[in-house]
Every structure is written in structure tokens, then in C-alpha cells.
Amino acid sequence: MKMFIVLVAVLAVALAAPLDEPQNAQILKYENDNIGVDGYNFAYETSDGVSRSEQAELKNPGTEQEALSVRGTITWIAADGVQYTLNYIADENGFQPSGDHLPKA
């Protein structure tokens, strides 16, 4: 649960990038498949250049190693007109983002 809260906070910051007129964005695509406690899938795309997809699956159910493994991608156009893409994994190993705009370790 703590990992999910961290993931949501990081993605909220990423989505907070200012856009010219985000209030006028239209939903172009929306898919949602909640498969219960075993995981979920969703994806959306908006007219202002934002798209996001995420999949989650429950790993090792019923064991002490039970963990939700989440994989996703979000793309947005920043105020400077550059398109950014953030790929991420969030699982028992923590939040693992990757993107060309992120510093390399």
C-alpha cells in the first residue's frame, strides 16, 4: 500500500506540468479492466498530448512474498513543447522510473 501511495504521488507531480489549456482537453481513448484482487489494466489518451497506461498483477498470492507488481508508461508535452515519456515499475523492489529525461545512475 505504501508503494502505491508513493507511485500516485510521483505521477501526480509528473501530471502537474503546466499546459496551455488543459481544461479544454478531450478524452480520446479510455480503457479500464479491473480484474479484482488479482490486478488491473487501464489506459487513456487526451487531446492535449497526455497518454498513460498501467498494468498490475498480484505476484505470489497467499504467501509472505505477496506483492502487487505495477508497470506503466505516461507521456506528456511540457510547457517548453518537448514530449516526455516516463516508464516505471513499482513492485517489491520499489519504484523504478526510467526515461530519457531522467539522470542516469
55-72: per-residue pLDDT in tens?
999 998 889 988 889 999
Length of the chain: 105
Q: State residue 92's pLDDT score.
A: 87
Torsion of CA 19, 32, 9, 87, to 10 degrees: -80
Residue type at position 58: L
**What's the pTM?**
0.70
Percent of the chain, pLDDT > 70? 79
Identify the DSSP state of 4. H
